[in-house]
Amino acid sequence: MNNKSGITHLIRKEAKRLGFSEIGISKAVRLTDEEKRLKKWLDKGYHASMDYMENHFDKRVDPSKLVPGAKSVISLLYNYYTEKKQYDKNTLKVSKYAYGRDYHKVIKKKLNSLLKFIKEKTGDINGRAFVDSAPVLEKAWAAKSGLGWIGKNTLLINKYMGSYIFLSELIIDLELIYDEPVSSHCGNCTRCIDACPTEAISKSGYELDSTKCISYLTIENKGDIPVIFQNKMANYIFGCDICQDVCPWNRFAGEHSESDFAPKEEFLNMKKEDWFNISEEKFKILFYGTPVVRAKYKGLKRNIKFVKSSKKDQFD
């Protein structure tokens, strides 16, 4: 099929059939504005120890460096919001995105199916699938394709779904019908800025200092957690949802329908004492196949120890 409008329609329809929540398509061009913002962010050292953010700079801002002759970037959203919560409100906390199976594996399989479908319908096209595992500015492309705007907490916010969404992309050398960006709807709201216990979000918003972010400190950070963050971790030991929990747009978030993202009952039942006494064997069984293994047992124990020492009187 060579009809641009027709194949675009088929791609959108197939993406929804595969379970993607939303799809947006943008023209594959160099991201000149984002290039300036990224350089400024890196120059400030806000990427902390994530040195990989400095690597492959050109690939991050120019899709043709990833797929020669790239013409379109297909951005996709996948809902992971759940009303389910850890039962003990005083227990140590894990971010919602890590409740179930590793999203990279779940979504990559669907992306590859979509890419295969496009090739079957259009012939020998070239393309690649990306799920948060390559130098791609995912939020920028999603915003460019009209799937939402980048909020003051630096996350992509969709007007109808909020921000509890995984992002992924297909970059292909096929011209399609493109979507238009939407305007920001954060307005004068500062809830995410005010709620962040470590002041990781700049006072004016739209910029995040990773060296202060609880998600960075509990996942990417390989060293000790600085003592200045004692009593500021809000009981989080893997990731953080604070800036999302307070965002008014997340009142529109609906329960996901992905069985692979369902949390284990044993995990939801974990009390403080269970976390304090977790063995490496229990860690492997409980979190096998989930994003939590990224921290490894040693990293999770470090986080647990830090939160416990921060609130020693409360936990003793």
Give the model confidence (pLDDT) of 239-287 as tens digits.
999 999 999 999 999 999 999 999 999 999 999 999 999 999 999 999 9
Work out the average pLDDT over 43-60. Answer: 94
Mean pLDDT of the chain: 96
What is the model's pLDDT at position 310?
A: 76
Written as one letter, the residue type at 235 is N
**Dihedral sign (CA 95, 100, 102, 103):** negative
Q: Where are the domains of the chain?
A: 4-41+56-172
Percent helix, strand, coil in the chain (nearest 5)?
Answer: 45, 10, 45
What is the model's pLDDT at position 117?
A: 98
Looking at mean pLDDT, say which of 121-125, 238-242, 308-312 comes out highest. Answer: 238-242
In this predicted structure, the answer to whether residue 288 has a pLDDT above a threshold of 90 is yes
In this predicted structure, the answer to whether residue 316 has a pLDDT above a threshold of 50 is no
Q: For residues 86 and 275, give the distance between their C-alpha atoms in angstroms, rounded to a whole number.
A: 12
Q: For residues 135 and 62, give the distance between their C-alpha atoms in angstroms, rounded to a whole number.
A: 10
**Strand-pair category, 165-172 with 127-130:** antiparallel
Q: For residues 173 and 190, give the distance between their C-alpha atoms in angstroms, rounded to a whole number.
A: 40
Q: Mind listing the pLDDT tens digit for each residue in 194-247?
A: 999 999 999 999 999 999 999 999 999 999 999 999 999 999 999 999 999 999
What is the model's pLDDT at position 133?
A: 79
Backbone angles phi, psi at 81, to 5 degrees: -65, 140
Work out the average pLDDT over 97-126. Answer: 96
Q: For residues 112 and 23, give the distance between their C-alpha atoms in angstroms, rounded to a whole number.
A: 15
Asked if 207 and 201 count as a contact pair (C-beta separation under 8 A), the reply is yes
At 311, is the pLDDT very low, low, confident or very high (cuts 50, 70, 90)? low
- Nearest-5° Cα angle at 105, 260 to 121: 105
Instruction: Output the CATH code of domain 4-41+56-172.
Output: 3.40.109
Residue 79: how many CB atoms within 10 A of its CB?
A: 22
| Helix, strand or coil, per DSSP, at residue 6 | helix
In this predicted structure, the answer to whether residue 313 has a pLDDT above a threshold of 70 is no
pTM over 0.75: yes
| Helix, strand or coil, per DSSP, at residue 138 | helix
User: What is the enclosing helix (H) or strand (E) of 12?
Assistant: helix 4-17
What is the model's pLDDT at position 1?
A: 54
DSSP string, 44-101: TTTTTT-GGGTTTHHHHH-GGGTSTT--EEEEEEEE---S---S-TTS-EE-GGGSSS
Percent of all residues in the chain with a pLDDT value above 90, rounded to a whole number: 95
Show which residues are catalytic. 132
What is the model's pLDDT at position 2?
A: 61
Q: What is the DSSP letter of 158?
A: B
Number of Cα atoms under 13 Å in the Cβ half of residue 117: 20
